[in-house]
């Protein structure tokens, strides 16, 4: 019986992964192929320069220094294997990587909550989100990778189970991949998640994760292969330059508020649940850590010389995917006194949950359709 249960659970996870992968790739490829992506020419040229060892790849204020390693490697690989143009290879690698990451997130949300409706909502939010229109290739990929690392940490943190070597290796690979894509948000996310893991595992395992993450970063960032020290110095210089030396680039309140609306609504619902002493679906330390992480990064991004919506995107994505779950929690505490039986009340709650997911999906589908038209 136990074996059959495990096999059935694994079968369900594979179905979720495959369906999510197909749906995410359909929308991701449709978006990038139709609407394009910001800085696509810059990044496709960067891959070409890296492959041909052209000195232009080290041009300041271009693509060098993010570091965007997986994008460069992936674009070169698709160009060589399929003989695609560098531009088509770039679009393809962004769509493929994002789709795989989104599918993994959907699997982990189901593992955590066993709620198909939440998983469906997450799939729609991350596949169709309008914020991708503000993304560059590294910010598009990094945003979903940040979500993946936080969700993986959540699964480990809630269960507080013995963390296996395979799980540590997976965590390290994701962390290194993320940092090799965008070093700023990647490093900050890694430190935050490591802090959470510190409370459920040993210092020795934390050290191994850190070591494994650095090794993963070095593998996915081609510049670490032959100029590691200089490259690390360049990465730090780029971060500092964009924070306090870049030409002042403001961001309007309306743009930021419109982009962050659903994320702020999610946070307000969380505070409402906490204020009314309702049980929330996440461990308290995880929630407070995530709030500190979010507010700190918002403060840093808002005080930087160069401001762009895409910098806020990973934080917005995290809180947006939690919105359906907070609404579900709120619905579960509503008593429908006009209904006589608990069975009828439960049916109404389930209908309300379906309505929430339907509205969220309709919202994202409508915006996506408008953009395509």
User: What digits encode the pLDDT tens for the residues 274-299?
Assistant: 888 888 889 999 999 999 999 999 99
102-106, 109-113, 142-146, 300-304: least confident range: 300-304
pLDDT (mean) for 365-370: 92
Contact 294, 271 (CB under 8 A): no
What three-state secondary structure class fits 247? coil
136-150, 173-187, 304-318: least confident range: 304-318
pLDDT (mean) for 263-270: 95
Give the pLDDT band of residue 315 (cuts 50, 70, 90). Answer: very high
Cα atoms found within 13 Å of the Cα of residue 221, Cβ hemisphere only: 30
The residues, any chain, with a CB within 8 Å of residue 307's CB and separated by 6 or more, are 249, 250, 251, 301
The burial of 215, by beta-carbon neighbours within 10 Å (0-12 exposed, 13-18 middle, 19 or more buried), is given as middle
pLDDT in the model for residue 298:
93
Quote the CA–CA distance of 175 and 93 in Å, as a whole number. 19
pLDDT in the model for residue 249:
75
Contact 67, 228 (CB under 8 A): no
Per DSSP, helices labelled H in the chain are 2-35, 40-51, 69-82, 86-113, 116-128, 137-159, 165-181, 183-198, 203-220, 228-244, 253-275, 284-303, 309-332, 342-372
- Cβ neighbours around 208 below 10 Å, total: 17
Quote the CA–CA distance of 152 and 283 in Å, as a whole number. 14
Whether the bond between 85 and the residue before it is cis, its omega within 30 degrees of 0, is: no
Both structure tokens of 348: 């109404």
Residues in the chain: 373
pLDDT (mean) for 49-68: 87
Asked whether the CA dihedral 35, 41, 43, 49 is positive or negative, the reply is positive
Nearest Cα residue to 271 out of 202, 192, 329: 329
pLDDT in the model for residue 76:
96
Give the pLDDT band of residue 5 (cuts 50, 70, 90). Answer: very low
Quote the CA–CA distance of 186 and 36 in Å, as a whole number. 24
Quote the CA–CA distance of 126 and 146 in Å, as a whole number. 12
> What residue spans define the domains of the chain?
2-372
**pTM > 0.75: yes or no:** yes
Nearest Cα residue to 313 out of 221, 251, 242, 239: 251
Give the pLDDT band of residue 162 (cuts 50, 70, 90). Answer: low
- Quick check: 67 pLDDT over 60? yes
Distances (CA, A) of 325 to 107, 153, 161, 277, 345: 15, 17, 23, 16, 19
Winning range, highest mean pLDDT, from 64-73, 151-160, 312-321: 312-321
């Amino acid at each position: 019986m136990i074996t059959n249960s495990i096999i059935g659970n694994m079968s369900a996870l594979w179905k979720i992964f495959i369906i999510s992968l197909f749906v995410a790739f359909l929308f991701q490829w449709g978006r990038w192929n139709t609407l394009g992506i910001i800085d696509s020419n810059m990044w496709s040229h960067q891959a070409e320069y890296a492959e041909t060892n052209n000195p232009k790849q080290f041009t300041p204020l271009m693509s060098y220094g993010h570091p965007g390693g997986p994008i460069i490697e992936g674009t070169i690989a698709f160009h060589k294997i399929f003989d695609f143009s560098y531009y088509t290879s770039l679009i393809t690698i962004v769509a493929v990587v994002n789709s795989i990451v989104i599918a993994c997130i959907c699997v982990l949300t189901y593992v955590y909550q066993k709620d198909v409706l939440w998983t469906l909502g997450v799939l729609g939010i991350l596949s169709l989100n309008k914020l991708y229109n503000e993304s560059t290739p590294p910010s598009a990929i990094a945003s979903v990778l940040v979500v993946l690392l936080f969700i993986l940490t959540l699964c480990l943190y809630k269960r507080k189970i013995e963390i296996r070597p395979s799980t540590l290796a997976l965590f390290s690979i994701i962390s290194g991949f993320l940092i090799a894509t965008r070093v700023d948000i990647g490093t900050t996310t890694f430190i935050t998640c490591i802090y959470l893991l510190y409370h459920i595992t040993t210092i020795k395992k934390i050290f191994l994760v850190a070591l494994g993450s650095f090794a993963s970063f070095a593998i996915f960032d081609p510049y670490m292969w032959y100029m590691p020290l200089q490259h690390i110095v360049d990465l730090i210089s780029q971060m500092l330059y964009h924070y306090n030396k870049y030409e002042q680039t403001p961001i309007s309140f309306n743009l930021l508020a419109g982009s962050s609306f659903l994320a702020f609504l999610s946070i307000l619902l969380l505070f409402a649940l906490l204020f009314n002493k309702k049980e929330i679906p996440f461990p308290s330390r995880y929630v407070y850590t995530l709030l500190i992480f979010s507010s700190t990064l918002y403060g840093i991004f808002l005080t930087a010389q160069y401001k762009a919506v895409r910098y806020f995107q990973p934080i917005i994505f995290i809180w947006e995917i939690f919105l359906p779950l907070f609404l579900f929690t709120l619905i579960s505490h509503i008593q429908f006194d006009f209904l006589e039986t608990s069975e009828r009340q439960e049916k109404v709650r389930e209908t309300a949950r379906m309505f929430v997911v339907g509205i969220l999906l309709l919202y994202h589908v409508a915006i996506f359709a408008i953009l395509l038209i």
